[in-house]
Amino acid sequence: MQVRIQGDGDEQALTDLQDWLSRDPQARQLSVAPVSTSGATMSVLHALDIVLNRGIEIANFAVAYASWRVARADAATRGARTLTHGGSTVDIGHLDGAQLADLLRRLQSEGTDTGTHQS
C-alpha cells in the first residue's frame, strides 16, 4: 500500500517528518521517497511517498507520525497533514496513532478506488 503525505505548502514540515521517520527505531525501515516538483521554485519538496507492506508497518508509521505531530505542536506545523491513497484524501493532522492506524487499515482493505473522504 502506498500513501502520500502532501506538503500542503510547508516544505519544512515534510523535511522534518522525513528526518523524524529516518530516526525513529520502528519507522526507519519504511520505504520513504521524497517527491519534488521542478519549475521556478527549483525542486521544491512536494510530498513524501511511503510504502506500507504489512500491518506492523502501518502501526509503526502511525505511531511515528502521531509522535512527530505532538513533538512539533509548538512549531505550529501547518503542513504534512494531508494523506492521499488512491482516490482518498484525508486530513490526518488531528489523529492519534491508533486512529491513524485504523484509517490506514480501512483504506488498505477498501482498495485504491474509494472516493474522497474528509474528516
Of 60, 94, 72, 96, nearest in space to 15 by CA: 72
pTM (2 d.p.) = 0.84
Is the pLDDT at 119 greater than 60? The verdict is no
- The SS3 assignment for 82 reads strand
Q: Which of 92, 83, 91, 72 is nearest to 20 (CA)?
A: 72
Q: Which three cell numbers stand for residue 10?
A: 510547508
- What pLDDT, in 10s, does the model give residues 62-117? 999 999 999 887 766 678 999 999 888 999 999 999 999 999 999 988 864 444 44
3-54 pLDDT, tens per residue?
999 998 888 999 999 999 999 999 999 999 999 876 665 667 899 999 998 8
Considering only CA atoms, which of 43, 8, 10, 48 is closest in space to residue 32?
A: 48
> Under CATH, to which class is 2-110 assigned?
alpha beta
Domain boundaries, the chain: 2-110
Classify residue 67 as exposed, middle or buried by CB count within 10 Å of its CB (0-12, 13-18, 19+): middle
Backbone angles phi, psi at 68, to 5 degrees: -60, -45
